[in-house]
């Protein structure tokens, strides 16, 4: 999105936020044009118009699945399981229903929504609404999906979901595409059960989505939000190519406090954004209503997706294999959340910096692909605050403050992945020390194959290459050593981002760019005692790691001979 459009929109948001309910164009946005009457130019006859009936049916279906005829023994077992978490999948269904029967009955906070197109009214004779799914690849707990359904139900229109599959994206490999496609297959199945056709469109959104919209007389497009330049460009391109009378709106379904509401500028660090986010949490950190079986039938069917064929046709590197431990899809994401709560949350605060311990949530792959809502994870984890206060508070700090700070940085800083994007103090100190003699210089190939003189660094690199997830503590050490062992900060950043994006399952994420920028360029950090190569950038060393955890144990676990 160009600066000009962004500025206009923020102005709009500013003025609209002065409304009593703080919503953006709440009353007008995406309503039908005033002249079109609901009886006059109605679209072709639809099979099902009985929304109330369908809604209550969907609700009773959802609740009856929970109270099936389990015998007393099973109930007892269930009760016992509930005490330690039970089936989180089932509990979530109940929680959503406790918020509202459907999004139509729910007080949707429209601050989550912003208008991208010039047109803000739905076109006449619309025959459907489309949710262009991109970053948030899930059905439930997705504000963009919910907003699209709310709109479609309000206008008595069918709802469609479209995903535009590009054959290549940054350094993504089959590890990433495999995870994503399997997650999308689950989305498609869930959509089918909800009477919402799922369309996998092959190609760049600008080339396929506008034609889809025209061909099927779609009246309005809802999409989600990502702050990185490539997806931002996709949205801009689509908005320029959509028919002028079709509005496009964006919903931040990834952050709890929408990125553009949390702050209107690049924040200096966690300490400057923390209060802004916490002050607004109460209005955004709410339960989600369920997506209901859509009451309006589409006039056309989605083209069946041949997932195998789709997988085979990808033009991506297949040498970086998919990983076993991370099962793709929203259901697996919820299972991982449940295992975090029942097994690892208690030691998150005390052991999260120990790579030999199982204390982390491990949720980043599901968060990255939007298969699990961070908001959902927070809602669930917070229930354990009286039991594990420190751990819950630390998790909130990481998953909300640090993560939303990363989105803030990438959204407001166009140079989020180059030294140019660093603060002046950091750029200056790195420049002063650019010519300092390095103890070791490694090529990208040497680094990639984990063949440095440092067994801990090699072990961390091999963990990432083979498991698709390096432990969070070691990511900092790993990136800082790349600064120490390459020719320049620019080269270090390039290598770190390349390796991170290629091997980490959660790579190509604002968190990754900010993680590399924090380690190498001091972003969101402060100046430290000056030293060679690093200048005032925070330094980490092997001895420091030895004081934190049993380094030898980690090195044994990820020794090259284990992967020979």
364 binds ligand FAD (CB under 6 A): yes
Residue recorded with tokens 């989505």: 209
175 binds ligand FAD (CB under 6 A): no
Q: What is the DSSP string of 48-105?
A: ---HHHHHHHHHHHHHHHHT----HHHHHHHHHHHHTT--HHHHHHHHHHHH-SSGGG
- For ligand FAD (CB under 6 A), the number of binding residues is 28
379 binds ligand FAD (CB under 6 A): no
Binders of ligand FAD among residues 435 to 474 (CB under 6 A) are 472
Region from 18-26, 206-214, 382-390, 505-513 binding ligand FAD, contact rule CB under 6 A? 505-513
d(CA 238, CA 236) in angstroms, rounded, equals 5
Pick one of 410, 511, 534, 551: the residue that binds ligand FAD (CB under 6 A): 511
Region from 70-78, 323-331, 448-456, 499-507 binding ligand FAD, contact rule CB under 6 A? 499-507
Bridge partners (DSSP) of residue 161 are 131, 198
Nearest approach in angstroms of CB 143 to ligand FAD is 18
Sheet with 128-133: strands ordered across: 113-115, 248-251, 218-224, 128-133, 159-165, 198-202
Residue 154's SS3 state is helix
Rg (Cα) of the chain, in Å, rounded? 24
502 binds ligand FAD (CB under 6 A): no
Select 129 or 341, whichever has its Cβ closest to ligand FAD: 341
Other residues' Cβ atoms within 10 Å of the Cβ of residue 66: 13
360 binds ligand FAD (CB under 6 A): yes
Region from 28-36, 157-165, 189-197, 394-402 binding ligand FAD, contact rule CB under 6 A? 394-402
476 binds ligand FAD (CB under 6 A): yes
Select 216 or 481, whichever has its Cβ closest to ligand FAD: 481
Nearest approach in angstroms of CB 295 to ligand FAD is 36
Nearest residue to 235 via CA among 227, 46, 398 = 227
Region from 13-21, 284-292, 399-407, 453-461 binding ligand FAD, contact rule CB under 6 A? 399-407
Nearest approach in angstroms of CB 524 to ligand FAD is 9
- Whether 533 contacts 438, CB under 8 Å: yes
345 binds ligand FAD (CB under 6 A): no
- Whether 461 contacts 454, CB under 8 Å: no
310 binds ligand FAD (CB under 6 A): no
486 binds ligand FAD (CB under 6 A): no
Residue recorded with tokens 């909130």: 396
128 binds ligand FAD (CB under 6 A): no
Helix axes 489-503, 510-521, angle to 10 degrees: 150
Q: What is the DSSP letter of 293?
A: P
* CA angle centred on 526, ends 523 and 532, rounded to 5°: 90
d(CA 106, CA 100) in angstroms, rounded, equals 6
504 binds ligand FAD (CB under 6 A): yes
Which pair of structure tokens corresponds to residue 375?
């908001």
- H/E element, 352: none
For 544, residues 6+ apart whose C-beta sits below 8 A from its C-beta are none
Q: What is the torsional sign of CA 239, 245, 246, 250? A: positive
Select 150 or 524, whichever has its Cβ closest to ligand FAD: 524
Nearest residue to 256 via CA among 409, 407, 411, 404 = 404
The phi-psi region of residue 203 (left if phi > 0; otherwise alpha if psi is between -120 and 50; otherwise beta) is left
Pick one of 368, 433, 481, 502: the residue that binds ligand FAD (CB under 6 A): 368
Nearest approach in angstroms of CB 348 to ligand FAD is 7
Pick one of 135, 293, 402, 433: the residue that binds ligand FAD (CB under 6 A): 402
270 binds ligand FAD (CB under 6 A): no
Nearest approach in angstroms of CB 516 to ligand FAD is 5
Select 160 or 475, whichever has its Cβ closest to ligand FAD: 475
Pick one of 112, 475, 494, 536: the residue that binds ligand FAD (CB under 6 A): 475
515 binds ligand FAD (CB under 6 A): yes
Instruction: Sketch the per residue contact string, 83 through 122, with ligand FAD: x for CB under 6 A, - otherwise.
Output: ----------------------------------------
Region from 187-195, 276-284, 400-408, 422-430 binding ligand FAD, contact rule CB under 6 A? 400-408
d(CA 53, CA 102) in angstroms, rounded, equals 12
* Contacts to ligand FAD by CB under 6 A: 352, 360-364, 367-368, 398-399, 402-403, 406, 472, 475-476, 479, 500, 504, 506-507, 509, 511-512, 515-516, 518-519
């Amino acid at each position: 999105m160009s600066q000009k459009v962004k500025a206009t929109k923020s102005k709009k948001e500013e003025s609209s936020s002065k409304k009593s309910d703080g919503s953006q164009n709440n009353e007008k946005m995406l309503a039908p044009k005033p002249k079109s009457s609901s009886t006059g130019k109605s679209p072709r006859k639809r099979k099902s118009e009985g929304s109330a009936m369908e809604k209550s049916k969907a609700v009773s279906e959802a609740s009856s699945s929970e109270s099936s005829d389990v015998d007393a023994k099973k109930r007892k077992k269930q009760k016992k399981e509930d005490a330690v978490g039970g089936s989180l999948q089932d509990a979530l269904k109940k929680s959503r229903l406790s918020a509202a029967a459907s999004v139509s009955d729910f007080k949707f906070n429209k601050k989550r929504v912003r208008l991208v197109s010039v047109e803000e009214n739905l076109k006449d004779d619309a025959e459907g609404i489309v949710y262009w799914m991109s970053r948030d690849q899930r059905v439930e707990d997705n504000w963009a999906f919910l907003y699209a359904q709310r709109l479609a139900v309000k206008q008595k229109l069918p709802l469609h979901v479209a995903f535009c599959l590009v054959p290549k994206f940054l350094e993504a490999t089959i590890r990433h595409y495999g995870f994503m496609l399997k997650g999308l297959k689950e989305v498609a199945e869930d959509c089918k059960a909800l009477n919402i056709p799922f369309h996998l469109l092959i190609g760049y959104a600008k080339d396929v989505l506008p034609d889809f919209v025209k061909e099927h007389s779609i009246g309005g497009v809802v999409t989600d939000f990502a702050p990185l330049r490539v997806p931002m460009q996709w949205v801009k391109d689509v908005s320029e190519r959509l028919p002028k009378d079709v509005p496009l709106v964006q919903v931040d379904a990834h952050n709890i406090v929408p990125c553009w509401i949390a702050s209107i500028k690049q924040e200096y660090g966690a300490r400057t954004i923390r209060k802004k986010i916490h002050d607004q949490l109460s209005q955004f950190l709410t339960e989600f209503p369920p997506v209901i079986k859509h009451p309006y039938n589409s006039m056309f069917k989605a083209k069946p997706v041949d997932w195998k064929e789709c997988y085979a046709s990808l033009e991506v590197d297949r040498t970086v294999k998919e990983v076993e431990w991370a099962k793709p899809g929203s259901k697996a994401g919820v299972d991982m959340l449940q295992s975090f709560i029942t097994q690892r949350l208690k030691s998150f605060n005390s052991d999260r910096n120990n790579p030999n311990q199982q204390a982390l949530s491990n949720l980043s792959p599901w968060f990255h692909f939007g298969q699990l809502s961070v908001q959902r994870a927070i809602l669930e984890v917070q229930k354990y605050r009286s039991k594990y206060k420190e751990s819950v508070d630390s998790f909130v700090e990481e998953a909300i403050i640090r993560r939303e700070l990363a989105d803030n940085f990438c959204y407001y800083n166009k140079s989020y992945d180059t030294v140019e994007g660093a603060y002046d103090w950091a750029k200056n100190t790195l420049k002063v020390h650019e010519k300092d003699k390095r103890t070791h210089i490694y090529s990208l190939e040497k680094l990639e194959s984990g063949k440095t003189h440092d067994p801990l660094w090699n072990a961390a690199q091999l963990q990432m290459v083979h498991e698709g997830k390096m432990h969070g503590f070691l990511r900092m050490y790993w990136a800082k050593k790349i600064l120490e062992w390459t020719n320049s900060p620019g080269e270090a950043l390039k290598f770190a981002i390349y390796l991170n994006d290629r091997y980490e399952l959660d790579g190509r994420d604002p968190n990754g760019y900010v993680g590399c920028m924090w380690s190498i360029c001091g972003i969101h950090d402060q100046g430290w005692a000056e030293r060679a190569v690093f200048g005032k950038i925070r330094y980490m060393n092997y001895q420091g790691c030895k004081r934190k955890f049993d380094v030898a144990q980690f090195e044994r676990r990820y020794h090259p001979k284990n992967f020979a």
